[in-house]
Amino acid sequence: MDDKMIRTRIAPSPTGLMHIGTARTALFNELFARKTGGKFIVRIEDTDRERSKKEYEQIILDGLRWLGLTWDEGPDIGGDFGPYRQSERGAMYRGALEKLLAQDSAYPVEDGEAIRLRVPPEDVVFNDLIRGEVTVNPETWGGDFVIARSLDDPVFHLAVVVDDAAQAISHVIRGEDHLTNTARHILLQRALGLPMPQYAHLPLLLDKSRRKLSKRTGEVNLLAYRDRGFLPEAMLNYLALLGWNPKSDEEFFSHDQLREKFELAGVQKGGAIFDETKLGAFNKHYLRQLTREELLEKARPWLKKAGYIIDDERYWRDALAVEQARAATLEELASGVSFFSPDWPGDYSPSLLVWRDSNEKETKEIIGQLKDFLDELGDNVWTEQTLKDTLMSWVEEKGLKRGNTLWPLRVALTGRENSPGPFETAAVLGKARTLERLDGAFKKITRGV
């Protein structure tokens, strides 16, 4: 193998759901590997036997796949440097521990409950590709530290160091919270005579009040965003900008563009703020890019979940297009188009039909007239523009007020205070349904406000 081959890895512990921070770290590692023609590896760090669960491993891999990340070696696909789960690499850790004990770099603690590494009382100095020279005093963690509970039970520090060397990892790109761990890992590398990879510590993810992002202040579970109808393209694009500056005014990048542009030199030191509203704006952007066909395919699970009947695909494509520019997520989109559902119950309050300058009696008359007028129109008029032209000249001829007429029409069709305009809505609903709904509104207001 070529010594200079770039190899990066994401090394998640399967002890919980897929965290947004893990996703961002994985993405940066993948982008750096792709940009440099290197390899990106997934390694499952399940040394903590009690807390590690197979289902979490699955969730983490699902999250990586959902984002569209690709890896060259991993627990699911194998590779020349496997196995890719620490629970399957025990012999290697045992060998390293035996070596450290034999050369007296490590010693068992009296009661035999742990093995500690001897740490010289000197600063550990290393170069970080993002932060420059970093100095850590081993006193920070109290000097000698535990590297195993027993020969067959190594802790994270030992396993990571052995694996990074055995898997020829050239760059360790991980969160800033690992800075002092890196100093420990360097001490272990020295004791074991292993090469030192290059380190790059990514800035912390913060919430809007600049506190460390946590589930107490926001949603940190990556797949919860998937389940609320965020698009992976939007999430990926947004995550890429959490700490990385593309040095251009453009902020929308496809995965391929990111793979070309990404540079560690563009990563900032200061914390990066995760803002769900901003993510929503990215998602809105990507939703708008979808063709009608794509939009229906992506929205379909949400439409189904909402219980709408989707027998007429063309109808739903039109309906979704009406709301496409308004919704931030697929979930919002599905609730936004609820009134297009063929079995919409029309369960709004009759008082909503009355425009603020009007009254019940007048509204009832207008709805009646609207019904008669629209009933006379031919099918060829049933497009947004012609409906608009025809209806507006009718309103003028009759000397009606716009608000008094268009408001009840819109409410009759959507049952909402805020909704798309009456012409585009009527155009999608079609003549029969529009008349049916006006009839419903007429009956409702007749029964009384």
CA distance 147 to 96: 11
Task: Single out the residue of 20, 87, 89, 21 nearest to residue 52, CA to CA.
Answer: 87
What pairs with residue 154 in β-bridges? 148
Question: Contact at 8 Å (CB) between 323 and 336?
Answer: yes
Q: Select the residue interacting with ligand GLU from 11, 117, 328, 333 (CB under 6 A).
A: 11
Q: Report the largest interatomic distance among the alpha carbons of the chain, rounded to a whole angstrom.
A: 101
Using the rule CB under 6 A, is 24 a contact of ligand GLU? no
Residues 178-217 that bind ligand GLU (CB under 6 A): 178
> Which one of the spans 7-15, 250-258, 285-293, 341-349 is the region binding ligand GLU (CB under 6 A)?
7-15
**Catalytic residue list contains 215:** yes
Binding mask 63-102 for ligand GLU (x = CB under 6 A): ----------------------------------------
In the bound complex, what is the minimum distance in angstroms from residue 36's beta carbon to ligand GLU?
19
CA distance 73 to 80: 8
Least CB distance to ligand GLU at residue 113 (A): 23
Q: Which of 6, 7, 8, 12 binds ligand GLU (CB under 6 A)?
A: 12
The nearest distance, CB 293 to ligand GLU, in angstroms, is 40
Stretch of 10-18, 53-61, 128-136, 205-213 contacting ligand GLU, by CB under 6 A: 10-18
Q: How far is the CB of 272 from ligand GLU (least distance, A)?
A: 17
Single out the residue of 96, 100, 160, 370 in contact with ligand GLU (rule: CB under 6 A): 160
Shortest distance (Å) from residue 9 CB to ligand GLU:
7
Contacting ligand GLU (CB under 6 A), which of 45, 73, 233, 424? 45
Print the binding letters for residues 113-152 with ligand GLU: x by CB under 6 A, - otherwise.
----------------------------------------
Exactly one of 215, 269, 361, 443 is catalytic; name it: 215
Residue 390 contacts residue 401 (beta carbons within 8 Å): no
For residue 177, what are its two tokens? 């919270």
The window from 8-16, 93-101, 272-280, 418-426 that contacts ligand GLU (CB under 6 A) reads 8-16
Residue 47 to residue 271: CA distance in whole angstroms: 29
Give whichever of 85 and 410 is closer to ligand GLU, judged by the CB atom. 85
Residue 44: CB minimum distance to ligand GLU, A: 9
What is the β-pairing status of strands 124-128 and 132-136? antiparallel
Is residue 13 near ligand GLU by the rule CB under 6 A? yes
CA dist., res. 44 & res. 157, Å (int)? 14
Residue with smaller CB distance to ligand GLU, 173 or 240: 173
3-state secondary structure of 335: helix
Whichever of 30 and 332 has its CB closer to ligand GLU, that residue is 30
With contacts defined by CB under 6 A, name the span among 11-19, 31-39, 98-106, 249-257 that binds ligand GLU. 11-19
For the bound state, the minimum distance from the C-beta of residue 15 to ligand GLU, rounded and expressed in Å, comes to: 8
CA–CA dist 323, 331 (Å, integer): 12
- Nearer of residues 179 and 241 to ligand GLU, judged by Cβ: 179
Out of 7, 174, 201, 371, the only residue in the binding site for ligand GLU (CB under 6 A) is: 174
Nearest to 85 by CA among 24, 30, 171, 163: 163
CA distance 52 to 155: 13
Tokens 């396993």 — which residue?
A: 159
CB 324, CB 290: distance < 8 Å: yes
Interatomic CA distance for residues 229 and 282, integer angstroms = 13
Q: Comparing C-alpha atoms, which of 297, 322, 321 is closest to residue 310?
A: 297
Buried b (16+ CB within 10 A) or exposed e, 149-161: eebebbbbbbbbb
d(CA 283, CA 235): 7
CA angle 203, 205, 211 (to 5 degrees): 115
Count of residues touching ligand GLU (by CB under 6 A): 7
33 makes contact with ligand GLU (CB under 6 A):
no
Catalytically annotated residues: 215
Please report, as ranges, the residues that interact with ligand GLU according to CB under 6 A. Answer: 11-13, 45, 160, 174, 178
